[in-house]
């Protein structure tokens, strides 16, 4: 499975004709509103594939329980699936690291630097679980 987190990352892959199985976007790039129609035109223009749509809310600097639930459902397919986040999607790569099958590839943006590519394995999963626990504990919730 191939997944992307972020509008710019998703747009870049689509511009190369690579359609992620799952992509999580929030309609913003570097916290400025982006042109989400660009993603759809790239998706429809070259590949003519139907895309399922899901949505959730997620506050900046957090990982909401609803976002976790939506990602879990999305990973069941069928792909491709777009998750639109009201709020911010920046930290939502972490739940993907935990829930995606081994050998999945998750790509997210590193602003002003490029893209980060993570191949999922047990070490990545364990590290992500620890980070999520710390983030959610600080917010008064600790479930995943």
Domain boundaries, the chain: 2-138
Q: Over the chain, what is the mean pLDDT?
A: 86
What confidence score (pLDDT) does residue 55 get?
Answer: 96
User: Distance between CA 45 and CA 75 in Å, rounded?
Assistant: 25
Which whole number is the average pLDDT over 96-117? 96
pLDDT tens for 16-35 read 989 999 999 998 765 556 55
Partners of residue 4 on adjacent β-strands: 23, 107
């Amino acid at each position: 499975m191939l997944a992307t987190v972020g509008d710019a990352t998703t747009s870049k892959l689509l511009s190369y004709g690579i359609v992620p199985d799952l992509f999580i976007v929030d309609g913003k790039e570097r916290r400025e509103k982006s042109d989400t129609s660009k993603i759809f035109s790239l998706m429809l223009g070259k590949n003519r594939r139907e895309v399922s749509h899901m949505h959730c809310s997620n506050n900046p600097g957090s990982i909401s329980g609803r976002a976790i639930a939506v990602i879990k459902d999305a990973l069941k397919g069928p792909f491709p699936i777009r998750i639109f986040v009201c709020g911010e999607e920046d930290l939502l790569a972490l739940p993907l690291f935990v829930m995606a099958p081994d050998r999945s590839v998750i790509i997210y943006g590193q602003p002003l630097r490029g893209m980060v590519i993570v191949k999922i394995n047990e070490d990545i999963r364990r590290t992500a679980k620890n980070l999520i626990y710390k983030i959610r504990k600080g917010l008064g919730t600790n479930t995943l």
